[in-house]
Amino acid sequence: MKIYYCPEYVASEHDFDTTRKPGWVAASLAASPIAGVEVVRPEALTSAQIELAHDRAYVDAVRTGEPHGLARSSGLGWCEQAWTMVGHSNGGVVAAVREAWRNRVNSGSLSCGLHHARRESGSGFCTFNGLAIAALVALAEGARAVLIVDVDAHCGGGTHAILRDEARVALVDVSVSMADSYEPGPTASLRVVRDARRYLGAIREGMAALRGRKFDVCIYNSGMDPHEDCALGGLDGVTAAMLAEREALVFGWCHEQGIPMAFTLAGGYTGARLAQEELVGLHRLTIRAADVK
């Protein structure tokens, strides 16, 4: 199974989980490999590819740093390495989707900071919306229908805003926080869960509603921030065991439906109750679950 990563994913000077976590997970895979996983370097996206989902003025701002406010709109600040970082990390999402779709296998990218970015700006620690970019690239290259499943703790309002008029993309969004919520419509379902006892059931409901529909690929935004010990989004009662069951549920459902998957890391943040090693262990759950037999 190919997983995309390169050191440019963590090139930003801004020191935060979103800009450092891909490196932590990559180091974990080097120190303690998971059988069958091959870490592959992706190509950076071109401006033209990014502009499938984002306004040119915003893309230019991230590349040049001007205007300053727009360049920093993700909340991650701006530095000369920002363009390099997001070009490669979003390129990894596109590479993973291509690998999954073309070869009918699961794949992934150690990318995070994607689903809040809007067409005209960044938001919520997300600079470019790699989920939307990858979906639009796949459609442009011949895919007929793309599924996005988003289980980050926070709603994927940016993804919905960019893709809400694209009938060939379906979005299933199950969150535990109202942050970045939106009004669902014909192409998107949104469930916000406040009781951990309903969490897995809500995901089953979202997936079951798609039964019988045909998709060429599923892009899976696998956030670990619903974990009860995560300070940004955690829901009491959502444990590591529950998240492992969630991963088995989503990968298993897509496997049964014959839909290859490309995953990203999405949210998950260290803090007083969640150490770096524990967070990395949560993200390794996704990589292990992706190897569906």
Angstrom distance (rounded) from CA 170 to CA 163: 9
The dihedral formed by the CA atoms of 281, 283, 286 and 288, expressed in degrees to the nearest 10:
-30
Contact yes or no for 39/27 (Cβ under 8 A): no
Report whether pLDDT(9) > 80: yes
Angstrom distance (rounded) from CA 239 to CA 221: 18
| 104-110 mean pLDDT | 98
pLDDT tens-digit readout, 255-276: 999 999 999 999 999 999 999 9
Contact yes or no for 260/82 (Cβ under 8 A): no
pLDDT (0 to 100) of residue 186:
93
pLDDT (0 to 100) of residue 126:
98
Residue 211 pLDDT level (bands cut at 50, 70, 90): confident
Angstrom distance (rounded) from CA 151 to CA 83: 27
Long-range residue pairs from 62-68, CB within 8 A, at least 24 positions apart, any chain? 62/86, 62/122, 62/127, 62/128
3-state helix, strand, coil in the chain (%, to 5): 40, 15, 45
Grouping H, G, I as helix, E, B as strand and the rest as coil, residue 286 is helix
pLDDT (0 to 100) of residue 12:
95
Residue 103 pLDDT level (bands cut at 50, 70, 90): very high
Residue 212 pLDDT level (bands cut at 50, 70, 90): confident
Average pLDDT, the chain: 97
Contact yes or no for 28/284 (Cβ under 8 A): yes
Token digits of residue 95: 């590479």
Class of domain 2-289: alpha beta
pLDDT (0 to 100) of residue 146:
98
Percent of the chain whose predicted confidence (pLDDT) is above 90:
98
Per the listing, tokens 């992934």 go with 108
Whether the model clears a pTM of 0.85, i.e. scores above it, the answer is yes
Q: How many CA atoms lie within 13 A of 194 on its CB side?
A: 2
| 134-161 mean pLDDT | 98
Percent of the chain whose predicted confidence (pLDDT) is above 70:
100
pLDDT tens-digit readout, 29-78: 999 999 999 999 999 999 999 999 999 999 999 999 999 999 999 999 99
Report whether pLDDT(293) > 90: no
**Packing angle, helices 56-64 and 82-103, rounded to 10:** 130
Grouping H, G, I as helix, E, B as strand and the rest as coil, residue 82 is helix
Phi, psi of 191, rounded to the nearest 5 degrees? -125, 125
Sign of CA dihedral 10, 15, 21, 24: positive
| 198-219 mean pLDDT | 96
| 150-160 mean pLDDT | 98
| 11-20 mean pLDDT | 95
Angstrom distance (rounded) from CA 247 to CA 250: 5
